[in-house]
Structure 1
Amino acid sequence: MNEKLWKLHFPAFIGSADKVIKQLMDSAVLVNLPARQQVFYPGKVCDHYLLMLSGSIKAQIIAEDGREILLYHVLAGDSCVLTTSCLLGDNNYPAEGYTETEVSAFAVPAHIFHRCLEQSTFFREFVFRNFSKRLADVIKRMESISTGTVDQKLAKLLLASGEKSLYKTHNELALELGTAREVVSRHLKRFESYGWLILSRGSIQNINFEALNKILDSGNRQY
């Protein structure tokens, strides 16, 4: 049953006196996936409920112009909102997911998921509470992508970590912003010319919080 892993990552399951939850934990299969492996794709049948133990999975869609648009990340302690949606609606996946790092997760067979959802109040509350939270995060992310200038969205992303250095490539930033890498590179080079940051391979250094906050405060690009 991998009790130590349940206790570490999902302690509420261990603490539940529900016999159905015990059956769920007994049926869960521990899966380990390498980095950069496809987990699901559009049209794939959803046959397991995933509970993340470690690592990161990114869910994304491909725009008509070929751009990758990040929907969300699934991290340790999370469940996947698309997987939950597909299981609840008996639908196939509408997007694709890839491991960003090595991933460990519990995979619960779909028929066990549905049985527990029907019979366990604890599990229903867990599933819908996590589904609601993750869906709200996705909506918030889509709103942030669709509003504001590229400068404002990029400034917000650079400020989000609270660190003076950010170790991400231009392509990774473009994926998070839902735009093209060339667009991100152009704006970052302009920021660098203003002395607001220093670009290095695979990282951005000496980020000037004060200057970037002014972009957000101004609501326009007249700085």
Structure 2
Amino acid sequence: MSEPLGLFGGTFDPVHYGHLRLAEEAIAHLALGGVRWIPAGQPPHRGPPRVTARQRLEMVRRATTGNPRFSVDAGEVEAAAPSYTVHTLERLRAELGDQQSLVLLVGADAFAGLATWHRWRDIFALAHVAVSHRPGFPVETASLPHELATEFNNRRLTDSGALRLSPAGGIVTFAMTQLAISATQIRKLLANGLSARYLLPDGVLDYIQLHSLYRST
């Protein structure tokens, strides 16, 4: 079986160093062959992003260029439908085959809400789930909804090496370096005409400035 492939979805509104560090550390902690970034086109769980889907896609492309282990998937942006994770996983399964190990990367907060996702139980038939958390603050079943806690206990893999032994179905956790950066913070800085440099790659910031994104109207 080939190396596991990480899948990292999100609105990336805008993409920043916290996102990049999560993907980089996931490769190291989970022995992934790479990470495929999947910007959401029409995210169903939040309000419309501040900029267009194609602008967010372009920012992710600029942020990830130069890292041979990163690739960008435009499938959700190009689809004229809400960006449900289970649909994306079904598309990737059809593309990559039944034997490729797929690892969905999510943060601890997003994982806690997994049971509200569309057809969430089907996700485990299509991919593993890797949950990043703060160092010293592991994922606790007591903080999860009962049905999700049951899945967590039944599917948890104690060795990330097990990800390469099957294509889907497991849950792993890993601690990642915490960077106190958020897209909300960046948008607020930009809206107020303040500097967001060193919070996101220069190429992304240049694109934002070129197209006057996130400015107050």
TM-score clears 0.5:
no
- Whichever structure has more helix as a proportion of its residues is 1
Bigger Rg, structure 1 or 2:
1
- Whichever structure has more strand as a proportion of its residues is 1
Q: TM-score, normalised by structure 1?
A: 0.29
Q: TM-score, normalised by structure 2?
A: 0.29
